């Protein structure tokens, strides 16, 4: 595979902080960002929208190829996700949407349908890719692979705070159960399960502030000459 641009991958379970860390690293490096989880969330969302049968694998795979998605920035500077021109930023972030994503993500046909769409994000000057199989399947040639994790309790608490901030009515106990269930499904599926890529740098972010984790990833990238060292 020829390299269109250098890639840094960040894989890990829900609530490990991948999204926040990936965004910060991409911003500081001036690189593009791929939130691959959003694509799986969009497939599940679009499927429900089209009233597809929940078990219709081919229908969901077709949507994975045909759906029109725009990742942009809203008027207030925050991230914005448009599906067929409709703002679905909040709608795809609920835990229910996460569960739907995890379900369609277990189907090989959907994963295959999203492969090229994901690889197309690798454009100069570089890409930070956030997901579950970025380093193992989608970008095996990545210059730096990070596997980010944290204790199950801390991950549930982070997701709880995140969803609360967005005004969602959630219970910590229910969220913990759902996250455990989703992790189990993502880690045990037959295709592209969540596992650290060979050669991945494993970072356990339990108890670490965001800046410390971002600093560690930036340092690992600088060591590989992906960007200048921080002063």
Write out the residues near ligand DC by the rule CB under 6 A: 14, 36-37, 40-41, 98, 101-102, 105, 131-134, 182, 186
Nearest CB to ligand DC, comparing residues 100 and 126? 100
Q: Give the shortest CB-126-to-ligand DC separation in angstroms.
A: 18
Contact 161, 15 (CB under 8 A): no
Q: Give the shortest CB-155-to-ligand DC separation in angstroms.
A: 11
Q: Give the shortest CB-13-to-ligand DC separation in angstroms.
A: 8
What CA–CA distance (Å, rounded) separates 10 from 70? Answer: 22
Nearest CB to ligand DC, comparing residues 135 and 227? 135
Bridge partner residues of 179 (DSSP): none
Q: Which residue is nearest to ligand DC (CB)?
A: 37
Counting Cα atoms < 13 Å in the Cβ hemisphere of 71 gives 14
What the block records as the tokens of 175 is 């969220």
* Residue 63, CA distances (Å) to 26, 41, 118 in order: 28, 12, 15
Nearest CB to ligand DC, comparing residues 40 and 160? 40
Nearest CB to ligand DC, comparing residues 133 and 154? 133
148, 149, 162, 154: which is closest to 207 by C-alpha?
154
Q: Give the shortest CB-124-to-ligand DC separation in angstroms.
A: 22
């Amino acid at each position: 595979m020829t390299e269109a641009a250098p890639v840094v991958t960040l894989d890990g379970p829900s609530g490990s902080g991948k999204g926040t860390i990936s965004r910060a690293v991409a911003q500081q490096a001036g690189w593009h960002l791929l939130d691959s989880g959003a694509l799986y969330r969009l497939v599940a969302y679009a499927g429900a929208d089209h009233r597809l049968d929940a078990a219709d694998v081919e229908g969901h795979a077709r949507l994975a190829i045909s759906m029109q998605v725009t990742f942009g920035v809203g008027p207030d500077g925050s991230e914005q996700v448009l599906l067929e021109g409709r703002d679905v930023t909040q709608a795809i972030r609920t835990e229910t949407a996460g569960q739907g994503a995890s379900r369609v993500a277990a189907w090989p046909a959907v994963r295959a349908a999203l492969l090229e769409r994901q690889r197309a994000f690798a454009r100069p000057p570089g890409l930070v890719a956030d997901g579950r199989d970025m380093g193992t399947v989608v970008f095996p040639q990545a210059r730096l692979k990070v596997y980010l994790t944290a204790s199950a309790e801390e991950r549930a608490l982070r997701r709880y705070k995140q969803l609360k901030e967005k005004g969602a009515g959630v219970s910590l106990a229910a969220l913990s159960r759902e996250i455990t269930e989703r992790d189990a499904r993502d880690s045990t599926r037959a295709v592209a399960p969540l596992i650290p890529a060979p050669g991945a740098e494993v970072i356990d972010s339990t108890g670490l502030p965001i800046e410390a984790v971002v600093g560690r990833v930036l340092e690992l990238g600088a060591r590989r000459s992906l960007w200048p060292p921080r002063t």
